[in-house]
Chain A
């Protein structure tokens, strides 16, 4: 525990980073993101099972914000977002001071203790509890029991449905949407300065939260995440209406991997899936 604090303190004292995006605990023992700017701030830094936030979401805010490296505390899964942002030319590796943490799983429901039933599904598939690269590494990694993948069951159920049934299922889910765009705001990969829903000449996607507006929004958001989502599950956690958003993005990730053998956020040098092409991409569906 002290180790992470120590590393951050040193980094700030020795100006290896101009500030560090990290986690702290508030007086109600809630873990939340904060920015440590001074070695004293670093005293507050913690990491635990409740450290769910993907802190890479804060990067766009600091684009061209001055000299010096940005420090960030990352779990292995969050590092994928960092890698993906580097792949998409949003940030440079050299501008980052990455403090990796060995992760022992994070909670699904932040109001409850960490347990087998309260572990995020992504933790089950996490291949590297230690981030693949970093400037400093902290925390002990502890074994934990793997959660059930109830999402895979739901996915299989949907895949067995007829297309009409599927449309009915998703229409009912999207109907609940209130167009708060929390899903977009928490997503580290949604960094567009002007989102497509904000483009009003013409208005491509209705801003109204009608059945039609909700449907278009959710489809297009999922499409923009196709092969780009790094699976942090933040969108679904943030959605106040409990729409199973990661079911869509996960499905698209599976398509990216089966059709193109591609996984986003896994390599600093591989070009991003969208934006490149191969002359041998499949075309059996084109007449």
Chain B
């Protein structure tokens, strides 16, 4: 198979064509945020940038979306289904820790109930990933079997070369089709452009298997009494996380006889999350809620779906108002598991 490279300018031209074809093009901007682009010029690709403060999950799983609308009609209630926006979604410049989140959460959205809202967007999307040249004290993709070059979740993958060029890797059939369709913008790789390498390697922090084993055996451990005790329950972490996927369903009134049922983001760090109608709350303090967050990410999801519910992007830690660092928590678990596997 031929190898291709593409220039940043041509990538923008592709974005332009996509926009003209009524695709939703989502890319990183000069503010280092994912944004639905209005013009291709807004696109800024910087492999050395810190992961965006919020992930791009809102384009697949919006913060709020209607399931149906209702209206009273004499003694009946009329229900209306909203029309889905069927436009193709193209993400440009996803870091490996962003792209990998989609196949992970796709599992929960297709487990017993198939979530059409998520699927219709995900199935109709194209993810252009890009290798990452950044790492800080919060990053830990390496520890979860990924890496700054990992292509999981990407359909097409870009590797930065000198002079604003990228080496193009086709990862999935969808990606190959895309490269074919926009052939005219891609050039043959003659090996002239030097490839830009990452300066430093991401260090290894923990051994996931050890962490998992410890979590399997230590639901009741005094570690949990202090691990999350400073957590404020603000759920900033869950809302910016690419893999957190919990939602709440609410009815919302508009006037007296009409309204909508909506699906909204929710998070296990809220005290209301597990509150029963009776008033009983099985997770009645923040320490238990924090244990749930860590366990869901590193144990339950693995047990059920064979994936870690975390890509190691470090967003949750970067934004946490009390600097609770998920990596340090997992590292602590890792060191605990060195000396005990027993239930305390």
Contacts and interface: CB of A to CB of B under 8 A. Distances in A.
B168 interface: no
Given A206-B252, A208-B264, A240-B54, A34 B230 contact: yes
B306 to A, nearest CB: 29
A84 to B, nearest CB: 18
A28 B137 contact: yes
B235 A181 contact: yes
B207 interface: no
- Greatest chain A CB density within 10 A among B63, B232, B252, B253 is at B232
Interface stretch (B91-99, B192-200, B296-304, B319-327): B319-327
B319 A57 contact: no
A208 B250 contact: yes
Nearest to A208: B64
Given A198-B272, A207-B250, A208-B264, A30 B233 contact: no
B229 interface: yes
A263 B248 CA distance: 39
Interface in A23-46: 26-28, 30-35
Contacts of B267: 180
A64 interface: no
Interface string B215-243: 00000000000100110111110111000
A240 B323 contact: no
Contacts of A237: 321
B323 A30 contact: yes
- Greatest chain A CB density within 10 A among B63, B262, B321 is at B321
B234 to A, nearest CB: 4
A163 interface: no
B202 interface: no
A33 B252 CA distance: 38
B230 A178 contact: no
A57 B232 contact: yes
Contact of A179 (B233, B252, B265, B286): B265
B53 to A, nearest CB: 6
B328 interface: yes
Nearest to A28: B137
B230 A179 contact: no
Contacts, number: 91
Contacts of B233: 185
Given A28-B325, A208-B250, A208-B262, A182 B64 contact: no
Given A27-B328, A30-B323, A186 B234 contact: yes
Nearest to A177: B63
B230 A33 contact: yes
A238 B250 contact: no
A276 interface: no
A240 B230 contact: no
A186 B328 contact: no
Contacts of B63: 178-179, 209
Given A238-B321, A240-B53, A35 B229 contact: yes
- Greatest chain A CB density within 10 A among B230, B238, B265, B267 is at B230
Interface in A177-210: 178-182, 184-186, 198, 203, 206-210
- Chain A interface: which size bin? 35 or more
A234 B321 contact: yes
A110 interface: yes
Contact of A32 (B137, B230, B238, B240): B230
A238 B234 contact: yes
Contacts of A238: 234, 236, 321
A26 B323 contact: yes
B158 to A, nearest CB: 27
Nearest to B251: A203
A32 B322 contact: yes
Contacts of B232: 57, 182, 185-186
Interface of B: 53-54, 63-64, 137, 226, 229-230, 232-236, 238-240, 248, 250, 252-253, 262, 264-265, 267, 270, 272, 286, 318-319, 321-325, 328
Given A213-B64, A240-B240, 12 more contacts: A28-B325, A30-B325, A32-B323, A57-B232, A110-B323, A111-B318, A178-B239, A180-B238, A184-B234, A210-B64, A238-B234, A240-B319
Interface of A: 26-28, 30-35, 53, 57-58, 61, 110-111, 178-182, 184-186, 198, 203, 206-210, 213, 234, 237-238, 240-241
Per CB-CB distance, the 10 closest pairs between chain A and chain B, nearest first, are A182-B234, A185-B234, A32-B323, A238-B321, A208-B64, A185-B232, A28-B137, A182-B236, A180-B239, A209-B63
28 contacts: A27-B328, A28-B328, A31-B323, A32-B230, A32-B322, A34-B230, A35-B230, A53-B322, A58-B230, A178-B239, A180-B267, A182-B235, A182-B236, A184-B234, A185-B232, A185-B233, A186-B234, A207-B248, A207-B250, A207-B264, A208-B262, A209-B64, A209-B264, A210-B64, A234-B321, A237-B321, A240-B236, A241-B54
